[in-house]
Structure formats: structure tokens, C-alpha cells
């Protein structure tokens, strides 16, 4: 009996340590594999097939109001995806021959997997257009009944982050433009920071400050082993990377 309790206690300790471990987010899907392309459905499927926490993707709205998954502004032969109409975007083929996914097609595949969808809403040219993009993002997430355990939002637009946090209470929203200290972000109702790694090299204290405030720390886009290790040692919650399998291996070996 005593042995059982010791085992149970050890198991609980292991689980709680594991819960604190840094986890990995595939940047624009896991696209760095054969016959793949950034922000494609194939890249999302590849991320869903490996043990990552989530898969990040970029969302832009075309000038005729269609939400598409593409980094932009340039999209192959189109100079600016936000200024194009959907009919033009539909003709584009990605590097692997796939069509540019609409947000609807992308979320449909996202719903099939069990990793988190890290939804980056791109900055749009005016407040009015961005408000529409925010509204359509929220509508689509609701249409697919994506719960807060299935999707998180990130954006370089502080206003879009504020609005998303207000419209989607209980959903994680992270600000991308790393100049704001954790406390100030929290005061705006934004509970996560997803900053370029250089911001945490400059302000390593922000990680602890954020955690003490109950906030989440994500870092982009870390592709070099040395920097991954530095971020793991700093105790960030998530590392967003183009090299998810390398990062998973590093985390595994760091926790041994
Ligand atoms: Mg992105």
C-alpha cells in the first residue's frame, strides 16, 4: 500500500513538472518537410502529426472581405493580399502546388487535430477594415465551435488584441510587438506576450514578471539551437519555431 502511495506521489510530481515544461508551436505549420509550403493545409496536417502544443498560422482579409490563410503582404505574384480580391487569390498556387486556404478550410482541418490553433490576425490598413477582420475572425471561430482549449489569438495590432480579449473572454490573446512590459499588457486585458526572442534577451525578468501576474510567455521565431536552449532555460511557456522537431528534442534532453 505504502509503495502504491509513493508511486502515486511520484506520478503527481512528474505530471506537475511536465506541465511546467516549455512546449513547442510550429510556425506557419510544420512546413519544412518535403512537398510542403508555409501556411498550407499540408503544413497544418504535418504539425498535427507531431507532438507540438500548437500550430501558428497567418490570417489576412482580402479587399472583398474573404478571410484567407497567408502571411502577406506579398503572395506569390500578388503584391498585397489585402488589396487583392478573392478571385485573384484563388488562382495562386503555393510552392507545393496547393491553393491558398480560406480561413474556413483551414479551421475545418484544424478542428480534426488535437493541437492548438495559434491564430495570428494580421494588421489591416485602417481601423474600420481591422474591426471587420476581427468580427469575421470571431464569427468563424464560433461557427466551428472552437473552444478556448482549441484556439488562441496573436496579433501585432494592439487594438485587435484588445478587441479579441473583450469579444472572446476566456480565450488566450497574446500581443506580438515586444515593447510592452507584462504589467502594462495585463492592465489592457491582454494575458499573454508572444515576443521576438531578442526582447527576452534584453528583458529576461519579463518571464518571471509575466508568470507572477498569471500570464503566458511565448517567444518567436527561434530556429537556432543555442537560442532555443537559452529560452528553455529562461522558462518560457512556448517556443514558436520553424524547427519544431529539433526544439522538442532539446526540451526532452533539457528535462532529463
Ligand atoms: Mg505569423
Residue 255: predicted pLDDT: 79
Q: How much distance in Å is there from the Cα of 120 to the middle of ligand 1?
A: 6
What pTM did the predictor assign? 0.92
- Rg of the chain over Cα atoms, rounded to whole angstroms, equals 19
98: cell is 496547393
Q: How much distance in Å is there from the Cα of 24 to the middle of ligand 1?
A: 15
Q: How much distance in Å is there from the Cα of 3 to the middle of ligand 1?
A: 49
Euclidean distance between CA atoms 213 and 182, whole angstroms = 8
Q: How much distance in Å is there from the Cα of 6 to the middle of ligand 1?
A: 45
Residue 53: predicted pLDDT: 98
Q: How much distance in Å is there from the Cα of 53 to the middle of ligand 1?
A: 16
Q: How much distance in Å is there from the Cα of 154 to the middle of ligand 1?
A: 8
Q: How much distance in Å is there from the Cα of 20 to the middle of ligand 1?
A: 24
Euclidean distance between CA atoms 78 and 226, whole angstroms = 36
Q: How much distance in Å is there from the Cα of 28 to the middle of ligand 1?
A: 6
Mean pLDDT for back-to-back runs of 10 residues, the chain (256 residues)? 54 46 98 97 98 98 98 97 98 97 98 97 94 98 98 97 97 96 97 98 98 98 98 98 98 87
Residue 9: predicted pLDDT: 47
Euclidean distance between CA atoms 101 and 241, whole angstroms = 21
Euclidean distance between CA atoms 23 and 52, whole angstroms = 7
Q: How much distance in Å is there from the Cα of 152 to the middle of ligand 1?
A: 13
Q: How much distance in Å is there from the Cα of 149 to the middle of ligand 1?
A: 20
Q: How much distance in Å is there from the Cα of 84 to the middle of ligand 1?
A: 20
Amino acid at each position: 500500500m505504502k509503495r502504491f502511495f509513493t508511486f502515486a506521489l511520484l506520478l503527481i510530481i512528474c505530471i506537475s513538472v511536465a506541465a511546467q515544461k516549455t512546449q513547442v508551436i510550429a510556425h506557419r505549420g510544420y512546413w519544412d518537410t518535403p512537398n510542403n509550403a508555409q501556411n498550407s493545409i499540408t503544413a497544418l496536417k504535418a504539425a498535427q502529426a507531431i507532438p507540438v502544443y500548437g500550430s501558428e498560422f497567418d490570417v489576412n482579409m482580402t479587399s472583398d472581405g474573404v478571410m484567407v490563410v497567408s502571411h502577406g503582404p506579398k503572395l506569390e505574384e500578388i503584391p498585397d493580399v489585402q488589396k487583392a480580391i478573392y478571385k485573384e487569390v484563388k488562382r495562386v498556387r503555393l510552392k507545393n502546388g496547393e491553393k491558398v486556404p480560406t480561413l474556413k478550410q483551414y479551421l475545418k482541418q484544424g478542428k480534426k487535430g488535437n493541437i492548438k490553433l495559434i491564430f495570428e490576425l494580421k494588421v489591416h490598413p485602417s481601423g474600420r477594415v481591422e474591426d471587420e477582420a476581427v468580427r469575421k475572425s470571431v464569427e468563424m471561430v464560433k461557427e466551428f465551435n472552437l473552444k478556448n482549449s482549441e484556439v488562441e489569438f496573436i496579433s501585432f495590432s494592439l487594438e485587435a488584441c484588445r478587441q479579441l480579449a473583450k469579444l472572446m473572454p476566456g480565450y488566450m490573446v497574446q500581443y506580438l510587438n515586444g515593447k510592452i512590459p507584462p504589467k502594462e499588457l495585463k492592465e489592457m486585458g491582454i494575458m499573454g506576450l508572444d515576443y521576438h526572442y531578442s526582447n527576452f534577451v534584453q528583458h529576461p525578468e519579463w518571464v518571471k514578471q509575466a508568470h507572477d501576474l498569471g500570464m503566458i510567455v511565448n517567444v518567436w521565431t527561434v530556429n537556432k539551437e543555442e537560442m532555443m536552449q537559452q529560452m528553455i532555460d529562461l522558462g518560457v511557456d512556448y517556443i514558436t519555431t520553424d524547427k519544431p522537431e529539433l526544439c522538442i528534442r532539446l526540451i526532452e534532453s533539457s528535462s532529463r
